[in-house]
Each structure stands twice: as C-alpha cells, then as structure tokens.
Amino acid sequence: MYDVIIIGGGVVGCALARELSRYNLHLALLEKEVEVGFGTSKTNSGIIHAGHHSSAGTLKGKFEWAGNQMWDDLAKDLKFGFRRIGELLIARQTEDLQYLQDLKKQGESRGVTGLELWDPKRLQKEEPNLSHTILQALHAPTAGVINPYEACFGLIECACQNGVELFCAHPVQSIKAVESGFLIHTQQQDFQSRIVLNVAGVYADRVAAMVGADNFKISPRKGEEYMLDRRLQGIVTHLIFPTPTATSKGVLIIPTVDGPIMVGPTAEDVDDREDFTTSFSGAAKVFASVQEYCPAISDRDTITEFAGLRAVADSNDFVIEGSSVRGFYNIAGIQSPGLTAAPAIATYVTEMLRADGIALTEKERWKADIDGPPRFSQMTPTERKAAILEDPAYGRIVCRCESVTEAEVLYAIQHGARTLDGVKFRVRAGMGRCQGGFCTTRIMDLLVQHLDVPLTTISKRGQGSEVCIPRRDQILAEDEV
Amino acid sequence: MNNPLKKQYDVVIVGGGPAGLAAALGARKSGAENILIIEREVEAGGILNQCIHSGFGLHYFKEELTGPEYAERFVAHALSENITMLTDSYVIDISPALQVAVLSGRHGYLNVQARAVVLAMGCRERTRGAIRTPGFRPAGVMTAGLAQKMVNMKGVLPGRKIAILGSGDIGLIMARRLALEGCEVVSVYEIFPYSNGLTRNVVQCLDDFDIPLQLSATVAFIHGRDRVNRLTIAPVDAQRLPDLNKSWDVDCDTLLFSIGLIPENELSTKLRLHMDPATGGPQVNSTLETSLPGVFACGNVLHVHDIVDFVSEESLRAGQFAADLALGRRRPGDNIALQKGANIASCVPHSLSPDREQVIYLRVKQPMKNCILSIGDRYQKKFRMLIPAEMIRLTLAPEVLDRYFGDNLKIEVRPQEVE
Amino acid sequence: MKEIKNMTCIGCPMSCPLQLTIVDGEIEEITGYSCKKGEEYARQEYTAPRRMVSTTVACSGGLWPRVPVKTAESIPKETVLAVVRELHRYKVKAPVQVGQIILENVAGTGVAVVATRSLPGSKSEGQETI
C-alpha cells in the first residue's frame, strides 16, 4: 500500500515526486513510456518563461512567475544546464506596441524584474541579425532555457534516491476506488494507494475518467520544432518571441542551452494523442515566420525536427484540484508555461494535500542534490587529463559531433538509460549533426555489454522500436537447434 | 613493430582511412622521417572496411578490389614504411602553432607538435533532418551507411522490408546487399529525374534483383510511432516539390536514406579555415594547403569523391606537399585564381601555380551531352557526356598556365557547336 | 521466333540504351551503342552474364562477428543466390588472412571464395602499432 501514487512521469510528475519525497510517505510514480520525460516533456521548447506572459487571474499566471524563480536552485542541485539568456518580445506593427506596454505592466505588477522596452537602435546593437524593421522589443532578462528532459532525469533521480519507487513502461489500464483508497491496475502488476495524483499529460482526462473524475477534457495541440546546425549558433543570443496570437505564442527563435538554435513551435489542434508527426506545412510555416524577423535562418540548416503535444484543457488554464472522488487529484492541462510552472505546481499540490489533512512530516535525512552526469565537453584541459587518469573511458570519444565520451555513456546506462534515446537525452550522444550515423553502433555495443542483452533487443525508445533484427540464417540456425 | 610515441612529428595526419593512409605514404615518399596517423576507430582503413563490394582500385592498382582489400593493401604498405598509427584516438583540437591535442583510449590526453598537419577525416552522410522528411520519428529510419555497418560489420539486419530514398551509389549497393541477405527491397526512390549512381550499379544492384527505381519521387510521410510501418510516396514536380494529390502508400519496416555525403569539417571550422560552400570543405591552394599555413586537406574532407582511387592519388600529393613544408622545402606561391564559369558546380584546388603540372578535380552542375570543357583559352577537352555524379580529374601542363600570371582563370563547360 | 531485348550499357556515363534483336535465341542485331564497348557488353550480357559476388561469412573469435568474402572470379549470374545461400550457412574461425580460401567450388560453380580482409583474433592487437 502506497500513500501516494503519481501517474505520469513528465516534468510535473517528476517535480511532484521529488517534492513529496521530502516527507515520510510511501511513494511511487507510474510512467507508461520506457523512461520518464518521454512525452510532452521531451518535445517542447525548453523555455523557462520570464514570468510576465500569462494573464492575471489564471493559474498559469499564478505559477509562471513563482516557478521561474525556483529554477536556479533546481539546476544547481540537479546539475542540469540552465541559462537565463533573457527574452525579446518583438513588435513589428504599430498595433503590437500596446501589447508590449500591457505585458510590461502585467509583469511589473507581479514583481517580474528587469523588464525594459528597447528601441530599434538598442535592439540592433544587441541582436544585429534580427530584421531592421522591428519597431520595438520588450526585454525580459528573467527568461531562460533548459533541456526539459534533463530536468526530468535529475528530478526523478533525486526523488528515487529519497525513496520514491519508479515504474517505467507501466501504462495504467484501470483504476478502482476501494475503501482504503485506489487499486491501480497495470499490465505487469497492481498497485494500491491512498492517494492518486493524476499527472498524465495528454491522457489526463482518460485517466481521470477511470474513476469518474473527468470534469475536464484534454485536447492535444501539436507543436513542431526544427533544430538547426551549429553553423548558426550565436546568430541570436536571446529568446526571440513575436507578438502572440490567440492560440499560440508564435514561432520562436530559441538559443538552446547547449548552443544550437532551434525554431518553432507550430500550434495545431489535433485529434490523435500519439500524433508526433512533423509536416511539410509545419516546416513551411515555421521557416516562413522566422525568416520575417531573422532572415539569415534557412530551412537548409535543419539537422533534425520533432513534434510534441501540449495538453490543453477545455478551460484553457491549468487544472489543479482535488476531484469529486476523495483522494484523487487532477493536475492536468499543463500546457505552456507548464515547464516553468512545474516546481511551483509541485509545492502548491503538496500544500493542497496538507490542507486536506494528509500528514506531511519531513524526513530527517533528505538529500536535495544529485551528483549529476559528467560533461567532458565542458571540462578544461586540466580537468580532462585528471578525468582520463581516473577513468580511461574518458579518453574514448563515442559521439564525435557533441564530444561525448564512453565514460558519459556508461554513466547514462548506470543511471537508468536502457535505450538509444535514453542515452541520447541524458548525455547528448547522437544528438549532433550526424544524428547518430557514426555513434549508433558504438552506443548499442555499450548497452549490450553493460546490460548483458543481445544486440537485437536494443531499441530506440522501448519495445517495438528495436533498431536491428537478427540475420535470416541466424534465425534459421536457431530453428534447427 | 612498436613505435613509442614521440613529442614531435614532421607530419601528423588526422584520420586513418584511405586519405590518411595515402597522405602518410606520400609524406614518406617525400622524405618525412616521423609520421603519425591518428585514427578514431580501433583499426585503420576507414569506411572502406564496411564497403565489402568490389569495384575499388581499377585506376590505382589496375585491378578490381573490394573495399577491405584496398584498405588492407594501404595499411600493410604504411606499416612496412614504419608509419606510426595511433588508433582508438581522437583529435580534439589543433592550435595555430600546430600543436595537436589527442584523446586516446590507451594513452589518455596527449599533445603532439607537428611541423605539418594533414586533415583526412573523410565525410558523413546527410540525414533525414537535412531534407525534413515529414512524419513520425520511429526506429527503422537510418542512413544507408549505418545500415551497411550493421549488416557487414555487426552481422545484423536493419529490417525485413526495406525502402531506400536516394539513388546514390551507397543506396544502390545497399539495395543489392540487403536483397542478398534475404530482405525484401521494395523500391529505391530518387527525387531527381535521373539516378545519382553509376549505371553499372543501377543495372547490377537493382535490375538484377528486380528492384524498381522510381525517379522524380520522394518520401512525403513516414508512418509508424515506434517502428516504420508505411511510407507515403509522392511524385515531385520540376522544382522537386512533392505533389501530395498524386501520392501513394507503400508498406515497409525500414527506410534508408542515401541522400548524399558532406565533408566532416568539425576540426576545420574549429580552426576557422576558409571554407568553400560549393564543396563543403576547406579552400586549398595547389599544394592542397588550407588557409592556415601548415594545415593540408585531402580526400573526402576536402571534397566528396566518387572513387577511392582519386582519394588516394590526391592524398599522396597532399602528403608530399605536407612533407615538403615540414622539411623546409618552399615552393613558389600560387598566382592564378581558378574561377568557376558556365556549368561548373565545384572545383579543387582554388588556385594554381604554373611551376609544375597541376591536377584539378571538378564537377558539373547539370548533365550535358557532347560538350567542351575549356580552361582559359589554351585548354579544351571534348566530352560525350558529363554528369554531376561523376567527378572529372584533369591534369594541366605548365604551358597551359604560364600566361595567366596574377590572373583569373576561368573553367567552363559548354555544349559543342553543331557544325 | 523474334524478340526485342532492352539493356542499358554500363561502360560509361553515357548509359546508351541498347536494343538486341533476338531470333530463335540468337542475336541478330544490336543497336543503340555509340562505341564498341557497348556492343561487346550487350553480347556478353545476353549470352553469358557473369557477376562478382561479395558477402560476409560468420566468423567466431575475431574482432568482428563476420568476415567479408568474395568470389575469386565472376560466376554465372543465375548462380548468385545459390552461392550466397551456401556462404551464409558457412562458418569460419579467426584468425583469417586476406586472400585465404574460405570455400572451394562454391555451389558447384568451380569458383573459390576468398576472404577480403584479415581478421585477427579479438584479443590480438591486429594492425595497430601504438
């Protein structure tokens, strides 16, 4: 019997797991994918929003600024990259100017610091590659960038070291309210818990429906993103936002935390909750938009593209509440600025549980930080020499494009990576311009050696996505035996 | 033969594939004493080790070899010449003073001082991202070269039912290879109205196995969340844009991309070498020296070749020039800039010197029948057919050049006048 | 009986479309070539097409699990699949030397199959000098 079970290992679920792990609770997190962070949290823009975007009077507004201020400590404790590079919201038409004014006022009333309107002269000085026809920009220095999947890995690793039990590849099939709480059925095993936190992202309404607590609907909104070659690195140094439309913040230029520029996302309402597809029309829209304010960016520099689904609730705001079923909580509709808000949501939900009479006594020993993955590419020559002396695996580069060593890949495997994507998103091996053309077989070999499994079981992201199959004669030979 | 590592070398060669091996031999031929090859894989030979088909060496060895045989001859020759090979080692940086920083599995972090450096890192494949193929991102999508490594080196298959996008030679070779392995190769799709591979490969890799080649068609969508299960194929118009109204679906579990190669220029960009956007490699003078004095480039890192024989030839020269510089033998500087004229996509080197015979490699932009290639007004050569997929190698006698002192020399390809 | 057979010449990038007029199994006429090579190719390819075959053979104890091999000379085109099938059932042990005969008279063709690389045992240092 668990005290609390969290359904969904996205960034909010992982943040909740870590937050609740401070207390004497028996906790588990169930994730349907093979690793945490493999849904919406893997496929978004990776932006920690400045704090001024979301309207007052909404939960989004409430948690955007609160969450923003929590990321410095998290990044430091959990050893993932976070850079407050600042954001520029640009006005290209006279009617946009008022929006910039309003947003500045909204931010200031909330306490967002450093908001400043830049004239074209200042803008050209700071961002010479932006279109010279931009009328004005609102600079928000509090905005930052992270790799959201790294945040998930860090949060869950910290949670697990503080006692949270993680069950990946455990899609929840049904939930039954029973006297002592809930009986949660998965294909592999059943779980019992007093409290269920439903953080199931685009599936949150379906999970809620399993106990009849679905007083909201989720509709997926797809966003396509395009990662550009390092050739364009540094072409802009701030996050660039156009003035938004009703449904979207528009197509952004994102200097990612690792350096390369990413452009996107699109915003398209879709029916299929598994529609992670990119499209000709999406690419055309992204690059047409971006070229209007940064003409030097070209679709020919794309090294890879992906699509993610935002979970949009019918209220268009976050849904964070206890439900009609006692002990079952919905934390749903966490679309943008959901990543920013995640840590603030986690503390808010914790207080909600406390208010509902759940006993939260702090553990005597709770460890806030983790060691974090080594990053050879960021070491100085002296540090590199020392690292190699200690472990010769640092002397073997596995991924050439991103200078990832064998030692880092092994670290990823030791910390839970079971798939090529698991390695890639932990230590960047395979993420560069060759997209795994050279390093795939080497990473597969390392997975084989250290997990002691056959080569043909190694997958891209879990069962059904195996990278290779046995030779026919090998199958025949085994049949003969 | 065990060579202890030295602190200083006459010539340090980055890459132990066909280019690096030939450069080492060229440097030895030119008298360099201490030569070091740094190779990132556990064995030298480069990509040839996985190219098990025959068709290599007809120019260089005057006989038809497979890739591994070609590589092994060079490796054996290099070893017999007492050239030091540091395998499982990776060059992470080169300073302007030619201090080479190396990461080595067995030796840790090393610094070696070079008198001359030859870049011979080869090339890599363009990937799905480069052409932004829409759809899911499932397993079963990979480059043809990665599939080749899996099949020929690791002894596993990429899938059962294979489609290939791009009719370059690697794609065609892999079509045959997988057919021989018992896979069903459903089709090869090519966005251009002509194949980008050798006719011999179209005939012997596709026709022999009844594998259809669909010209002017591309993959418009990849289906399957976890594993490829279907492709949408669309014909393309003259601008090579897909016509989705005329598209059709094809069942398969694997899609290989064979859509071209690009020089692997991580180090070149780090060194801030002047690059040539047409080749994707560095600009070089007639001694194959880049814009950074003492740094030379050859093989596929300079410009992507079609045949390894030309790589060897070019790299031998690069090694000789590198050794000349290392040993203090100066040559007169170039005084003629090569200028691309009509129907020239790329040419290497970028400048010439009339003091000795010059070798030029070039590619045309458009296929052209019955044409004349002219260089200035003293050199003309007739060709029955020139295609972009086939690199042309020319040698120019000093007499052709000596009038162009300090001048631009224009290369062009024009149709023959009909008389 | 008269039939027309089409081929593409592989002699050079011209890729001449060749047309063979066949009467009772014999070549009556070859057209479409623009040099002598084309005519010769058409004749050879019609009467006795031959191919070089390269593939890999399972190899235990080596640096890699397969060793590449080829037919020592070209074999009749119609025997290609039989040759590959026989080779794929075959196993060798490292070390292997380049040029070493792996299999004599493969699939009854009278042609030997040879290794196209040396494959040292996985423990040995192989070709490396440092």
Q: Are A166 and A178 in a shared domain?
A: yes
pLDDT at residue B63 greater than cutoff 50 = yes
Mutate to test the interface with A, among B132, B153, B219, B244 (most CBs of A within 10 A): B132
pLDDT, one tens digit per residue, over A83-113 is 999 999 999 999 999 999 999 999 999 999 9
* Cα torsion A27, A31, A36, A40: sign: negative
Count of residues for chain C? 130
A49 catalytically annotated: yes
Last residue of a domain, one of A261, A277, A309: A309
Q: Mean pLDDT across the stretch B386-403?
A: 88
Among chain C residues, CA nearest to A477: C89
For residue B94, the SS3 value is strand
For residue B108, give the nearest of A305, A392, A440 by CB distance.
A392
Residue of chain B whose alpha carbon sits nearest to that of A401: B266
Q: What is the pLDDT of residue B1?
A: 39
The answer on pLDDT for A401 being more than 60 is: yes
Same domain, A177 and A305: no
Mean pLDDT on A18-28: 98
Is position A481 within any domain?
Answer: no
**Shortest CB distance from A472 goes to which of B132, B145, B181?**
B181
Q: Give the Cα separation of B60 and B39 in Å (integer).
A: 23
Same domain, yes or no: A280 and A415: no
Distance of alpha carbon C100 from alpha carbon C119, whole angstroms: 11
Record the tokens describing residue B213, joined without a space.
Answer: 């080649």
Task: Please tell me the distance in Å from B27's CA to the nearest CA on chain A.
Answer: 27
Confidence class of residue B294 from pLDDT cuts 50, 70 and 90?
very high
Q: What is the mean pLDDT of residues B319-326?
A: 97
Mean residue pLDDT of chain B comes to 94
Tell me if domain B8-124+262-326 and domain B127-259 are identical in fold.
Answer: yes
C88 touches chain A (CB under 8 A): yes
Cα-to-chain-centroid distance, residue A405? 24
pLDDT band with cut points at 50, 70 and 90 for residue B418: low
Is A134 in the same domain as A177? no
Q: Is residue A415 part of a domain?
A: yes
Tell me the β-bridge partners of A161.
none
The answer to whether B139 contacts A303, with C-beta atoms less than 8 Å apart, is no
Q: CATH topology for C54-115?
A: CPE0013-like fold (3.10.530)
**pLDDT tens digits, residue range B190-221?**
999 988 888 889 999 999 999 999 999 999 99
Q: Collect all residues with Cβ–Cβ distance below 8 Å to A73 and sequence separation of at least 6.
A: none
Please say whether the structural domain C2-47 has been given the CATH code 2.20.25.
yes
**Interchain contact, B143 vs A276, CB within 8 Å:** no
CB contact under 8 A, B226 and A280: no
> Is residue A479 one of the residues assigned to a domain?
no
Residue A392 has, within 13 A of its CA and on its CB side, a CA count of 7
Interface of B with C in 204-233 (CB under 8 A): 204, 207-208
**Closest partner residue to B153 among C7, C12, C66, by Cβ?**
C66
- The answer to whether B88 faces chain A, any CB pair under 8 Å, is yes
Contact list, B149 vs chain A (CB under 8 Å): 441
pLDDT of residue B378: 84
A421 and A295 both lie in a single domain: no
Residue A280, judged by CB atoms within 10 A of its CB (0-12, 13-18, 19+), counts as middle
Nearest to B132 among A283, A384, A465 (CB): A283
From A380's Cα to the closest Cα of chain C, the distance in A is 26
Instruction: Spell out which chain A residues touch chain C, with contact meaning CB-CB distance below 8 angstroms.
Output: 471-473
B157 and chain A: CB distance < 8 Å anywhere? yes
**Chain C positions in Cβ-Cβ contact with residue A473 (cut-off 8 Å):** 58, 88-89
Q: A382 is written with which tokens? A: 């002296």
Contact C63/B87, CB-based, under 8 Å?
no
| Nearest neighbour of C130 by CB, restricted to B3, B64, B181 | B3
* Chain B contact partners (≥3 CB pairs within 8 A): A, C
What letter represents residue C15's amino acid?
Answer: S
Which of these is catalytic: A49, A52, A170, A238?
Answer: A49
Residue A430 CA to residue A444 CA, distance in Å, equals: 11
Q: What is the CATH number of the domain that holds A230?
A: 3.30.9.10
Residue A342 banded pLDDT, cuts 50, 70, 90: very high
Task: Find, among A161, A429, B44, the residue nearest to C130 by Cα.
Answer: B44
Q: Do B384 and C68 touch (CB under 8 A)?
A: no
Determine how β-strand B108-119 pairs with β-strand B8-14: parallel
Determine the Cα–Cα distance for residues B183 and B180; give it in Å rounded to an integer.
Answer: 7
Chain B residues with CB inside 8 Å of A394's CB?
A: 103
Cβ within 8 Å of C, B 309-338: none
Residue type, A347: T
- Do the Cβ atoms of A472 and C88 come within 8 Å? yes
Residue A77, φ and ψ in degrees, nearest 5:
-70, -40
Check whether residue A196 and residue A260 sit in a common domain: no
B384 touches chain C (CB under 8 A): yes
Residue A478: inside a domain: no
Say whether both A264 and A412 belong to one domain.
no
Element housing A84 (H / E): none
For residue A336, the cross-strand partners are none
Give residue limits of the domains in chain B.
8-124+262-326, 127-259, 336-415
CATH architecture of B127-259: 3-Layer(bba) Sandwich (3.50)
| A471 vs C contacts (CB less than 8 Å) | 88
| Cβ pairs A/B, distance under 8 A | 142
Q: Is the pLDDT of residue B325 over 50?
A: yes
Put simply, whether B40 touches A (Cβ < 8 Å) is: yes
The shortest C-alpha distance from B35 to chain C (Å) reads 13
d(CA A431, CA B268): 20
Q: Pick C130's closest partner by Cβ from B86, B180, B199.
A: B86
∠ CA C13-C15-C16, rounded to 5°: 135
Name the residue of chain B whose CA is nearest to A283's CA.
Answer: B132
Residues paired with residue A424 on neighbouring β-strands, in sequence order: none
The structure tokens listed for A416 are 């839970």
Q: Do B108 and A461 touch (CB under 8 A)?
A: no
Q: Which two tokens stand for residue A262?
A: 């990413």
- Nearest residue of A to residue C86, measured between CA atoms: A473
Instruction: Compute the mean pLDDT over every residue in chain A, rounded to the nearest whole number.
Output: 94
Tens-digit pLDDT profile for residues B117-153: 999 999 999 999 889 999 999 999 999 999 999 999 9
Report CB contact under 8 Å: C117, B72. yes
Q: In chain C, which residues have pLDDT < 70?
A: 13, 122-130
- Interface mutation vs chain A, best among C84, C88, C130, most A CBs within 10 Å: C88
Higher pLDDT, B4 or A412: A412
Residue A290, H or E segment: helix A280-293
Q: Which pair of structure tokens corresponds to residue A239?
A: 């996050």
pLDDT band for position B331 (50/70/90)? Answer: confident
What's the DSSP call for residue B41? S
Give the rounded percent of residues in chain B with a pLDDT score beyond 90: 84
A301 CB-near residues (< 8 Å, 6+ apart): A228, A229, A231, A232
Residues 6+ apart with CB under 8 A from A88: A118, A123, A126, A127, A137, A138, A139, A140, A238, A239, A240, A241
**Residue in B68, B200, B204 closest to C117 by CB:** B68
Do A109 and A17 belong to one domain?
no
Q: Could you state, in order of their start, the residue ranges of all structural domains in chain C?
A: 2-47, 54-115
- Give the pLDDT of residue A475: 64
Q: What is the mean pLDDT of residues A402-428?
A: 93
Among A117-121, A187-191, B183-187, B400-404, the minimum mean pLDDT is found in B400-404
CA–CA separation, A448 vs A205, rounded Å?
39
Any B CB within 8 A of A440 CB: yes
Q: Is A266 on the interface with B (CB under 8 A)?
A: no
Looking only at the bridges linking them, the beta strands covering A87-91 and A82-83 are unpaired
The answer to whether A11 touches A342, Cβ cutoff 8 Å, is yes
User: Same domain, yes or no, for A131 and A230?
Assistant: yes
Query: In whole angstroms, what is the distance from residue A166 CA to residue A35 CA?
Result: 10
Within an 8 Å CB–CB cutoff, is residue A234 touching chain B? no
Residue where one domain finishes, among candidates A369, A386, A415: A369
Residues of A within 8 A of B264 (CB-CB) are 400
Lowest-pLDDT range, A215-219, A396-400, B195-199? B195-199
Domain end among A334, A353, A369: A369
Torsion of the alpha carbons at A316, A321, A322 and A328, rounded to the nearest 10: 70
Q: How far is CA A344 from the centre of its chain?
A: 15
Number of domains within chain A? 3
Contact A209, A335 (CB under 8 A): no
Is residue B56 within 8 A of residue B70, CB to CB? The reply is yes
- Cα distance between residue A65 and residue B339, in whole Å: 58
Question: Thinking of the domain B8-124+262-326, which architecture would CATH place it in?
Answer: 3-Layer(bba) Sandwich (3.50)
pLDDT in tens, B355-365: 899 999 999 99
Average pLDDT (A40-57) is: 94
The CATH number of the domain holding residue A203 is 3.50.50.60
Structure letter (DSSP) for residue B376 = T
Residue A353, pLDDT above cutoff 90: yes
pLDDT digits (tens, 9 = 90+) for A308-328: 999 999 999 999 999 999 999
For range B71-92, the mean pLDDT: 95
With an 8 Å Cβ cutoff, is A302 touching chain B?
yes
Q: What is the DSSP string of A393-419?
A: GGG-EEETTTTEEHHHHHHHHHTT--S
* Residue C91 at interface with chain A, using a CB cutoff of 8 Å: no
A121: CB partners within 8 A, 6+ apart:
none
Contact A77, A21 (CB under 8 A): no
Neighbours of chain C (3+ CB pairs under 8 A): A, B
B220-257 confidence digits (pLDDT tens) = 999 999 999 999 999 999 999 999 999 999 999 999 99
- Given a cut of 50, is residue B169 above it in pLDDT? yes
Q: Taking CB atoms and an 8 Å limit, are C128 and B5 in contact across chains?
A: no
Instruction: Give all strands of the β-sheet with A47-48 in edge-to-edge order.
Output: A47-48, A144-146, A82-83
Instruction: Note the pLDDT of residue A476.
Output: 59
- Beta strand A172-178 with A165-167 is unpaired
| Nearest residue on chain A to B93, alpha-carbon basis | A381
Q: Closest to B72 (Cβ–Cβ): which among C53, C64, C118?
A: C118
Interchain pair A471, C89: CB under 8 A: no
Instruction: List pLDDT tens digits, range B360-379.
Output: 999 999 989 999 999 988 89
A:161-220 residues touching chain B, CB 8 A cutoff: none
Tell me, what's the pLDDT at C1? 81
Query: What are residue B338's DSSP bridge partners?
Result: B409
Tell me, yes or no, whether A480 lies in a domain.
Answer: no
For residue C123, report the phi and psi dihedrals to the nearest 5 degrees.
Answer: -85, -25
Domain range enclosing A358: 1-82+145-217+314-369
Is it the case that residue A481 has pLDDT exceeding 80? no
Shortest CA gap B54–chain A (Å)? 22
* DSSP state, residue B206: I
| Residue of A471, A476, A479, A480 to mutate when probing chain C, most C C-beta within 10 A | A471
Q: What is the DSSP secondary structure assignment for residue B96, as one 8-state letter?
A: T
Q: With an 8 Å Cβ cutoff, are B52 and C77 in contact?
A: no
CATH number at residue A459: 1.10.10.1100
